[in-house]
Each structure stands twice: as structure tokens, then as C-alpha cells.
Amino acid sequence: MTQTDIDQILSLVHEGNKLAAVKLLMDTAHIGLKEAKDIIDDVFLGKETDINERVKRVSYSDTAERFTAESGPNGENPHFFYHKGSIKEEVTPAHPMWERIKTVFAPIEGLPADIARMRENYAKAIEEMEAKAGYTPKKNAQTTQKGQAPNRKEQASSDKKDTLFIKKSPLDFLKWYFYLFIAAAIVYMIYLFINH
């Protein structure tokens, strides 16, 4: 995180706009919602003074999920990513997490002008990617109005089935047969050893 990011976050907190501060902290530090909310609450209450140090202490477990976007220096050609633990996967309209990307990077009112402009660029890029791919939203997909914060609880429950983005191979069931074979071989070897 840069000092400019921290100054913007502190400014939002002092203005009383904690929601925008949490969102900005999540986007710039690439941490989860709960961690960002805890940090902003502590800053608001005066319990935390060094945001960078606190962010460094946040560690991800193997099940932590987050979304990031990367673009060129002027915000051109953005790419969206889904992270789960240490795994990073690019998200396109064909990806099961696409609807959540649309929700996470939807424009939000009350952000500083440069951050709002960046998010508008992301929203525009999302529309262009959908048009290029011929994407049509899922039947149960929720649309987010421009300027409204997305309802993350509803979105998370609708995407519950998509939270494991790594597709299973049709041959995954064979690994259990392999484990059973190894266990049977060990038992048989012990049996032979005891009887000889």
C-alpha cells in the first residue's frame, strides 16, 4: 500500500465514511472484508495508528477468498483475478466467479475521484468483456445498480455452489480406489509377516 492510499483511507474514516474506507482498504491491500472492517473499526476508535503494519499481520488461510484487478499504468486492459489461499486464477466471463467479479468491482458512491474513476473503468471493461464473449447473465444472477453497494451476503449465498473454482477431474474417484488398494496391501503384508 502506498502512503496516498493510507491518506485516502484515513480521510474517509475521519469523514465518517467507513464503508468506503473498508472497500478502499480491501482493494488496495488485497485483504478480506472481515479483516478490512476490523482494521477500519480500530482506526475509527483510535486503537490502530499504523495501517500498513496491521495489514502485514493479516495472513490468509487456505480457504480465504479474495478478488483483485490488475491493469496498465493508465487503467487500460484490466484483468480480474480470483484468489483462494495461495492460488490465483484469472476470471473471464466463462469463469464461475464472473458474477461475483461484477459485484465486487461495481461503482460505489462516496469514493475519492481517482478511485471512483478506476472503478468506472473496471465496470466498463467488464461490459466490454461480456459483449466480446457474448455473455448472458445467469438466471439467478443479481444485477447491481450503478452507485449502489452490492449486498455481499445475498451474493455469497447465490454463489455458494461456485466457491470451489478448481474443477474436479472425472477420474478423481480413482484416487480413493488407489488409497484402498494401498491400505489393503499394507494389511496383507502385515498378515504375511505375522504368519511367517
pLDDT reported for residue 145? 42
Cβ burial 20-53 (10 Å sphere, 16+ → b, else e): bbbbbbbbbbbbbeebbbbbbeebeeeeeeebee
Domain that holds residue 47: 3-163
Each residue of 29-55: pLDDT tens digit? 877 788 888 888 888 888 877 887 787
Q: Is 174 a domain residue?
A: no
Q: How high is the pLDDT of residue 61?
A: 52
* pLDDT for the residue numbered 134: 85
Q: What is the CA radius of gyration of the chain?
A: 22
Q: How many distinct structural domains can be found in the chain? A: 1
194 in a structural domain: no
Asked whether residue 63 is domain-assigned, the answer is: yes
User: Would 171 be classed as within a structural domain?
Assistant: no
CB within 8 A of 104, min separation 6: which ones? 67, 150
In a domain, 73, yes or no: yes
**pLDDT by residue (tens digit) across 76-135?**
788 888 877 667 788 888 888 888 888 888 877 777 787 778 788 888 888 888 888 888
Q: Considering the domain boundaries, does residue 55 fall inside one?
A: yes
pLDDT of residue 187: 95
Place 71 in a pLDDT band, splitting at 50, 70 and 90: confident
Note the pLDDT of residue 186.
95
Domain assignment present for 131? yes
Residues above pLDDT 90, as percent of the chain: 7
Predicted local distance difference test score (pLDDT) of residue 192: 93
CB atoms within 10 A of CB 142: 15
Nearest CA to 125 out of 67, 68, 71 is that of: 71
Which spans in the chain are helix H?
3-14, 18-29, 33-45, 51-57, 98-104, 113-133, 152-158, 173-195
State the pLDDT at residue 164.
45
Please check the confidence at residue 139 and state whether its pLDDT lies above 70: no
Percentage of residues in the chain with pLDDT exceeding 70? 76
Domain for residue 177, yes or no? no
